[in-house]
A and B are shown apart, each in its own frame.
Chain A
Amino acid sequence: GQQLNQSPQSMFIQEGEDVSMNCTSSSIFNTWLWYKQEPGEGPVLLIALYKAGELTSNGRLTAQFGITRKDSFLNISASIPSDVGIYFCAGQNYGGSQGNLIFGKGTKLSVKP
């Protein structure tokens, strides 16, 4: 089935630094989403991307829908301690049999204050 490769798996970063993570797929997606999950909680949607090449920002977060529709990246600028958590990319192909989200395995972000 469809799979997403998300990297890096984890990262430690100094407060104030910029962070970048990405997802790639062998399949084309029509929608790319980025979620953040904190301990004991469900994932919360950060950014949604619907068009190839689309670049969208949400505060310090910026995400792009790759032009090939097979990849996406998420950047976090000037990281702060509350950015800690697991970030998941997710893709959906409306032509797929499920029509549901396929998730990457996550990038665990830890920030040193």
Chain B
Amino acid sequence: GAGVSQSPSNKVTEKGKDVELRCDPISGHTALYWYRQSLGQGLEFLIYFQGNSAPDKSGLPSDRFSAERTGGSVSTLTIQRTQQEDSAVYLCASSPRQGAYYGYTFGSGTRLTVV
């Protein structure tokens, strides 16, 4: 597509449930990033994928968070046993190659609310 597409745009879930957030990057972009934006905070890096290389998971806050990228395109961020502190906007971005030099294009995000 023309831009980075994320779904759902909003998700309300009960504490303890699992959620899946989806990101469809720009076609041909090999690098894909997930960030988390809490209220009043900047963007917190979670994970990135570059081509077929092993993902950099160094930003994932706990083992309840995981992500995969199938076929080098669509990515799914999974949060297991959600907690209230997981409530945030989850942003996905893609770029033609890894690195800020090539520019990041962000999706509109998924607003997750854990009640």
A residues sitting closer than 8 Å to B (CB atoms) are 4, 6, 31, 33, 40-45, 48, 50, 88, 90, 92, 94, 97-106
Contact = CB atoms under 8 A, between A and B. Distances in A.
Contacts, number: 63
A49 B93 CA distance: 19
Interface string B60-87: 0000000000000000000000000000
A42 B107 contact: yes
Given A100-B33, A100-B45, A105-B40, A45 B108 contact: no
Interface string B36-73: 00001111110010000000101100000000000000
Given A42-B91, A88-B43, A100 B48 contact: yes
B109 interface: yes
A100 to B, nearest CB: 5
Contacts of A44: 106
A112 B108 CA distance: 26
Interface of B: 4, 33, 35, 40-45, 48, 56, 58-59, 91, 93, 98-101, 103-109
A34 to B, nearest CB: 12
A112 B98 CA distance: 39
Contacts of B99: 92, 94, 99
A41 B4 CA distance: 11
A105 B107 contact: no
Given A42-B108, A48-B103, A105-B42, A99 B98 contact: yes
Contacts of A33: 100
Contacts of B103: 45, 48
B90 to A, nearest CB: 11
Contacts of A104: 42
